A = this chain, B = another copy of it.
Amino acid sequence: MRDCIHYGTCTICCCESTPPLFRKLSKTEFNELHSERKEVVFKAGEVIFKQGTALTHFACFREGMAKVYYERPEGSNMLVNIVGAGRICSGIGLYTDNIHHLTVQALTDVNLCLIATKDIEAVIEKSKVMAIEMITLTNQNSIQFTHKLANLTYKSMAGRVAEVLLYLQNEIYESERFTLNLSRQDLADLAAMTKESFIRTLKELKDAGIIKVNRNQVEIVKLNSLTKISNS
């Protein structure tokens, strides 16, 4: 349980480790969102937001993890990122076409708060702080996409696999040892390659002693080497 700037230490508000989007709001502004929130639980595997459907709510993750991906016409998925506690999810349809452009699916049981976009819009109308935070969030998204685009279109498989591992270490599990709750297919979707290719490349890294892999247990042994490879 982490500090909440609006309600002290709390377990049931959507702001447990308040998402950045709401961090600078006044108590009044924040409460307008907080009081209207819907707390929902999803089981692992359930779809939280579905690409192509109406964007009516943002999700604030309190517990658990979900994968965010683009569903291609022919069925394969492009995994964009993983979201966990304290993260806000969805939004790129806001003030545009009000449609979800990505699907979000629970990887573990997930506990989140839904906040209606109409409430968020109402606060944006009133509060320049909120408006600016929203601009910040969307621009951060764009920056992330720019780098993702550049990386996926020019790096070799080894580079992309290494990058995925570093992403998991730094952004998701925050440790050089972690237990995956993503399938090999998910990891391959994250690196934009087939699962067979991902597995083979992973094995090469293992055989080179750069990582240890045993089923879903991963340990990054030679961080320097992996970082070097991630730039290739």
1/0 per residue, CB under 8 A from B, across A120-152: the answer is 000011001001101110111111011011101
Closest CB in chain B relative to A136 CB, distance in Å: 4
For the complex, would chain A's binding face be called helix, strand, loop or mixed by DSSP majority?
A: helix
Count chain B CB atoms within 10 A of each CB in A73, A134, A139, A141 and give the residue with the most: A139
A91 within 8 A of B: yes
Within 8 A of B (CB), among A66-84: 70, 72-73, 76, 78, 80
The docked-state distance in angstroms from the alpha carbon of A152 to that of B72 is 12
B146 touching A70, Cβ below 8 Å: yes
B154 touching A152, Cβ below 8 Å: no
Q: Which residues of B contact A138 (CB under 8 A)?
A: 135, 138-139, 141-142
Q: Which residues of B contact A95 (CB under 8 A)?
A: 132, 135-136, 139
The docked-state distance in angstroms from the alpha carbon of A48 to that of B78 is 33
Within 8 A of B (CB), among A81-119: 91-97, 101-102
Additional A-B contact list (5), CB under 8 Å, known A131-B131, A145-B149? A92-B142, A94-B139, A101-B142, A101-B146, A152-B152
25 A-B pairs with CB atoms under 8 Å apart are A72-B150, A73-B231, A76-B154, A78-B149, A80-B146, A93-B143, A94-B139, A95-B135, A95-B136, A101-B142, A101-B143, A101-B146, A102-B146, A124-B132, A128-B128, A131-B132, A131-B135, A138-B138, A141-B142, A142-B142, A145-B145, A145-B146, A145-B149, A148-B149, A149-B149
